[in-house]
Amino acid sequence: MVPALRYADDLTVGTDIALGTVRVTEDEIIRFAMEFDPLPIHVDIDYATLGPFGGVIASGIHTLGLYQRLQSAWLRTVAVVAGLGCDRMRLPTPVRPGDELTARTAITAMREQSAHRALMQIHSTMHSEAGVVLDLHASIVVQRRG
């Protein structure tokens, strides 16, 4: 069943949304990197063990993908027209095998673009036990009821 959509008119600046958690395995990190980011730090256990992180870490694009997996559950409830992109993204702490990642997003601004659309700005973070693994500011176009 498709949830009832919330439009820009239904959303409030300052709203904070818990997006849930996901656990990352070493196999998943390596499989993803083999296809999309095959650098040794992501795919070669022996090489990565001798590297600066002491083991395999997830690529940044994989970290972003894990966040998007969690974010999508909320976005499916919003009348999204399109994502405009990331205004700023930081990856201050690497994602490691076994990490449990928890994400949140907050609506930081909303402004009318037209009678039918608004620009929503969000600030999202994702944490592991070691700290912030993703800090993201993004812009999304959302339908208005008008």
Residue 1 within any structural domain of the chain: no
What per-residue confidence (pLDDT) applies to 4?
Answer: 79
Structural domains of the chain, count:
1
Structural domain range at position 68: 8-143
Residue 53 within any structural domain of the chain: yes
| Three-state helix/strand/coil letters over the chain | CCCCCECHHHCCCCCEEEEEEEECCHHHHHHHHHHHCCCHHHHCHHHHHHCCCCCCCCCHHHHHHHHHHHHHHHHCCECEEEEEEEEEEECCCCCCCCCEEEEEEEEEEEEECCCCEEEEEEEEEEEECCEEEEEEEEEEEEECCC
Residue 13 within any structural domain of the chain: yes
Residue 70 sits in a domain whose CATH number is: 3.10.129.10
Residue 124 within any structural domain of the chain: yes
What per-residue confidence (pLDDT) applies to 35?
Answer: 98
How does the average pLDDT of the chain come out, rounded? 96
- Residue pLDDT, tens place only, 102-114: 999 999 999 999 9
How large is the average pLDDT for residues 51-74? 97
Residue 29 within any structural domain of the chain: yes
How many CB atoms within 10 Å of residue 45?
Answer: 12
- Residue pLDDT, tens place only, 6-30: 999 999 999 999 999 999 999 999 9
Residue 2 within any structural domain of the chain: no
